[in-house]
Chains A and B, each alone.
Chain A
């Protein structure tokens, strides 16, 4: 379904009008939404796509011969094709719809239990979200494989020399996030993929934080698996993508059994359907899957180059203004980073700051951001995290700074 969105230039005020939620008030103040790394807001076209589906062509897909079912099937498969094109994926059947990044990682982690033996090694980075740690720890427990950690430096950058020295012919899997949710670091995944492949390891990249900021070319990256979530890319919650190279998706066993994923079922034996259906058991999340494609159209109509350029300006301005606050320390100062800033002010607990700025209409995230190993590394209980999207403004950063000054005054 074509959405016909066109932005000729980057006009943030015009873009803001696409997002109905940005008009709302919170605690008597205009909402300043700076928790985009947790989830992005949704433009009207995405909301409309959901309503349109349920209002006009709601039907189960892939099986019905009736018109509604065919319309819904077409829209869903068109969405898969949009995802394929967006990420420059070779085949549409290498795009698996999931419930989100976590689901995608679990499909791969559980599938690999057939291919690992005791003593095999898996490499994880020191800056992962728990969802890219725990499934692999479970895999290690089942198989006797060993989890090893690629360390990071004080700036929040991976120690690439250490990474290389950890690689060996025992290394079977490497999984790293494209962008760190807690620090904003953009990891050198091209180099990681290339070096891991040299020792025959398979690489999974967690793109949950990346895909709202940049547009990865998955064929050029030559990555084995790439996972992401729609809801961080202006799409709905509850849907995401698992990309896998055809050879790997063919080798991996199905994750769940059920309808849709079968070729033939008798009580003696079931043969499984081909890709992508082998991994899409049961009725999928049709409406959200369709709206995912609309979100991709929306972002592309603005253009990722423009998004990145604008967000870099926002990041630069926010960093400069934040550092004007006495006692403020930023965690994650990588040379190559995106518009996420984790910080603390003196000894003030991040929870206290988050509570006060919320009263002033400013939404930030506080806590360990589901990345406790990073907090342990810096020996802090957590941080305040302000994460910016292309619909945030320079004035909103000023509002954040004022709110933080107020919080600091109340809390010290």
Chain B
């Protein structure tokens, strides 16, 4: 599926919930289905510096697409990473670089986009795009 279609799917999924509590519960449940990073890859190198919770993201290139695995020690953060991975994992570096992240606003998680927010969502997106950029320049 293309990135924009996945984003649309997520937006529709979240539109189903009336209040923040249900949205957060849904996000937490998405976190539980996330493709987990292997323990051996949970190293400093793959740690994204958020202020309060730890987030590890590990990229691998398979058949021209980047497969991300990740984990976090905080479960709300884990839910946020899982949503990002649903959008960005299994996509080509080029598509990842082109993609916007407006869907985050639309699913009611706008507050997490503030650069000062301690969960480091902005750093996560930046890091995913950095990996995409690195693979793209390797391919060239």
Contact = CB atoms under 8 A, between A and B. Distances in A.
Interface of A: 27, 348-352, 355-356, 359, 366-367, 381-382, 410-411
5 contacts: A349-B73, A349-B74, A352-B53, A352-B77, A381-B73
Given A352-B74, A367-B118, 16 more contacts: A349-B52, A349-B77, A351-B77, A352-B75, A355-B76, A355-B119, A356-B24, A356-B76, A359-B20, A359-B21, A366-B118, A381-B53, A381-B54, A410-B21, A410-B24, A410-B28
A367 B52 contact: yes
Nearest to A348: B75
B51 interface: yes
A410 B74 contact: no
A382 B119 CA distance: 14
B25 A350 contact: no
B24 A349 contact: no
A367 B118 CA distance: 9
B24 A359 contact: yes
Nearest to B53: A351
A28 to B, nearest CB: 9
A204 B126 CA distance: 43
B76 A351 contact: yes
A367 B52 CA distance: 6
Q: Which of A348, A352, A381, A382 has the most CB of B within 10 A?
A: A352
B52 A411 contact: no
Q: Which of A351, A356, A382, A410 has the most CB of B within 10 A?
A: A351
Contacts of A366: 52, 118
Contact of B52 (A356, A359, A382): A382
Contacts of A410: 21, 24-25, 28
A367 B73 contact: no
Contacts of B52: 349-351, 366-367, 381-382
Nearest to A355: B76
Interface in B33-91: 51-54, 73-77
Given A366-B52, A410-B24, A410-B25, A349 B118 contact: no
B24 A351 contact: no
A164 to B, nearest CB: 37
B20 to A, nearest CB: 6
A349 B77 CA distance: 10
A126 B19 CA distance: 44
Given A355-B76, A367-B118, A410-B28, A349 B21 contact: no
